[in-house]
Amino acid sequence: MELGVKNIEPNAEIKVKKISRLEKMKKQKALIIMSIPFVIYTLIFNYAPLIGWVMAFQRFKPGKSLFNQTWVGFEQFKILFSDPTFLGVVRNTLGMSLINLTLGFICSIGFALLLNEVRLMLAKKFIQTISYLPHFLSWIIVTGIVMDVLAADTGIINTILVGLHIVDAPISFFAETKYFWGIVGLTNVWKEVGWGSIIYLAAITAINPDLYEAAEIDGAGRIKKILYVTLPGIKSTIFILLIMNIGNIVNAGFELQYLLGNGLVQSVSQTIDIFVLKYGISLNNYSLATAAGIFKSVISIVLIYLANSFAKKSGEERLF
């Protein structure tokens, strides 16, 4: 009899779980129906085009059917990874991505913490509005502003540096490779720091005010409240956003580097996206461009999986 009971119990548990899932689906029927258009949109515009990946394993020629091409296996990937230009492009992409990731996270979190400490609501809203506005500017306008500010003859930065006798002569910021990555990083921070702080500000508002009152009773000042109440309260948000941004580490950008770059800084300005445009699409080598795109996607998936696994082992919030 005992053996019979033991055999029945697992099946009963499975049935209970299935019933509970069905009940949850019935309760969330409206949400499921609302999500159907977005699922269909994602399948059509995000997953269906992946059939084009087969071009990376072909010597693709426009005008022929996708499956009526010359199949070359991994030849395009061998060409890609044996090309010194592509290896330099990968280095540039990773370097600028790490700078953007580091500066973006530190500045967005820091700005959100500082903005949360502003007590005058009018001043707080004004600062928020001013900090968000650059996000809505196109990269054409942003690069135009950056070029004017850093111009060697009329730029305000060179005027200040020369006027304070910090340098003897104006610096040609766009003619020397050592400045380019820093310019890209600071430009991204200026444009996105206000927008990036929105989620952190929302997470801060969700922290229980009683925790701040308890900390104040214990004698904690503003700095200690930030360290022991605010930061732990938004830790889960920080980890989730960090994992998502690590997955985008091979997406250093295209517009900013393409518009600010020139022949003098070409060795440090080209990213994978620019390489795809210049050596793939512009030269009608769609197979090579597709191979580079697959490389980006695979690296992103691997990085997200590793970051998520590390967060899981550390007991922190994770995506899945």
CATH number at residue 158: 1.10.3720.10
Residue 36 has pLDDT above 90, yes or no: yes
Q: Please state, in angstroms and rounded to a whole number, the distance separating the CA atoms of residues 226 and 241.
A: 19
Mean pLDDT for the stretch of residues 205-227? 91
The model's confidence at residue 204, banded by pLDDT at 50, 70 and 90, is: very high
The total domain count for the chain is 2
- Same domain for 175 and 94, yes or no, is yes
- Same domain for 86 and 206, yes or no, is yes
The candidate with the shortest Cα–Cα distance to 257, out of 111, 103, 146, 124, is 146
- Same domain for 19 and 129, yes or no, is no
- Same domain for 45 and 122, yes or no, is no
Inside any domain, residue 202: yes
- Same domain for 223 and 283, yes or no, is yes
pLDDT reported for residue 171: 94
Question: Range of 51's domain?
Answer: 1-73
- Same domain for 153 and 57, yes or no, is no
Q: What is the pLDDT of residues 264-309, one digit of tens each?
A: 999 999 999 999 999 888 888 999 999 999 999 999 999 999 998 8
Mean pLDDT for the stretch of residues 76-99? 93
- Same domain for 96 and 229, yes or no, is yes
